[in-house]
Amino acid sequence: MLTLDAITAAARRIEGKVHRTPLMTSETLDGLCGARLFFKAENLQKGGAFKARGATNAVFSLSEAEAARGVVTHSSGNHGAALARAARLRGAVAWIVMPTNAPAAKRAAVERQGGRVVECEPTIEAREAAAAQLLGRTGATMIHPYNDLAVMAGQGTLALEMIEDAPDLDLILCQVGGGGLLSGVATAAKGMKPGIRVVGVEPAGADDAQRSFRSGRLEPLGKPDTIADGLSASLGALPFAEIRQSADDIVTVSDVAIIAAMRRMWEVLKIVVEPSGAVAYAAAADGQVDVRGLRVGVVITGGNLDLDRLPWSANGL
């Protein structure tokens, strides 16, 4: 089980190695939603995404012998870049399996951090097979993007900071793909403040987490169809167990709502937010969660966006 103690230990372990990101506010966005919104700006995190937290905690939890053999993961980008960075800080090698359709900006981020990219076909099965081959060849340690307790604990440090900086929050809206972030956030938030609500948000075109949450068993993802590539992973078994225990609900948002949220944050908050990073705000802005009169923590998961393909521009899609 994931615990608040494990998350607070992770916070100590990664201190000084990742940013304590700010909570941003906007009277304009508050007025549009009828709520007081607090945006946790993980787009300003090391590597441009919250993934730095979990990857750093996992890598620095390894023994010296394990670190010497290196680490392996599969990722569409953000976790891969975060793991490559954490491995570099530890003096370890990181092999990152990436699908051929991963955004160019995300592959470039992995390579800048020293990660060794291994391409595969854009399916979960191909990712897992390529990672298994690397593990067998190198003897490295697998650091899964989300189905890993050390990763989940690292992601939960985000919620510790949110509640420390805004202790009167009524609700947290948090993205869910593989579930590592939502499981950590929900566990940390409920451990610190039992009365707070935590609602997961995912794209309508990748809604396995919502279906799983409603049915009480893991439901297959199938073929995701969403602009939010970072949320196209299947919900993991370890995160799902924690989400069922600590989250209050999971809702979905359309790609149209995601793109509108991205653009509004660009215009009003003056920050670059990738599609996956805008999903939580999209739920509030599009009315999928009733936030009126509440103090709401909104997670912005990342800002690794290809600026040559803005989705609201003529050539964006």
> Is there a contact between 144 and 112 (Cβ–Cβ < 8 Å)?
no
- Of 108, 111, 107, nearest to 120 by C-alpha is 107
Say whether pLDDT at 317 is over 50.
no
Q: Does residue 241 carry a pLDDT above 60?
A: yes
- For domain 52-142, give the CATH number: 3.40.50.1100
pLDDT value at 246 more than 60: yes
Reported confidence tier of residue 47, pLDDT bands at 50, 70, 90: confident
pLDDT tens-digit readout, 136-150: 999 999 999 999 999
Q: Where are the alpha helices (DSSP H) in 72-166?
A: 78-90, 104-112, 124-138, 149-165
pLDDT grade, residue 254 (50/70/90)? very high
pLDDT in tens, 170-218: 999 999 999 999 999 999 999 999 999 999 999 999 999 999 999 999 9
Interval 209-225: pLDDT, tens: 999 999 999 999 888 89
**Mean pLDDT across the chain, nearest whole number?**
94
Q: How far apart are CA 228 and CA 158, in angstroms?
A: 21
Domain residue limits, the chain: 4-49+148-300, 52-142
- Band of residue 16 on the pLDDT scale cut at 50, 70, 90: very high
Strand, coil or helix: 184 = helix
- For residue 203 the two structure tokens come to 């794209």
DSSP calls for 254-312: -HHHHHHHHHHHHHHT-----HHHHHHHHHHHTTSS--TT-EEEEEE-B----TTS-TT
Q: Are the beta carbons of 259 and 227 closer than 8 angstroms?
A: yes
CB atoms within 10 A of CB 112: 12
Residues 6+ apart with CB under 8 A from 43: 49, 271, 272, 273, 274, 277, 300, 301, 302, 303
Q: Look up the CATH architecture of domain 4-49+148-300.
A: 3-Layer(aba) Sandwich (3.40)
Neighbours of 203 (CB within 10 A): 28
- 77 pLDDT above the threshold of 80: no
Distance between CA atoms of residues 188 and 192, nearest Å: 6
**Tokens coding 35:** 């709520």
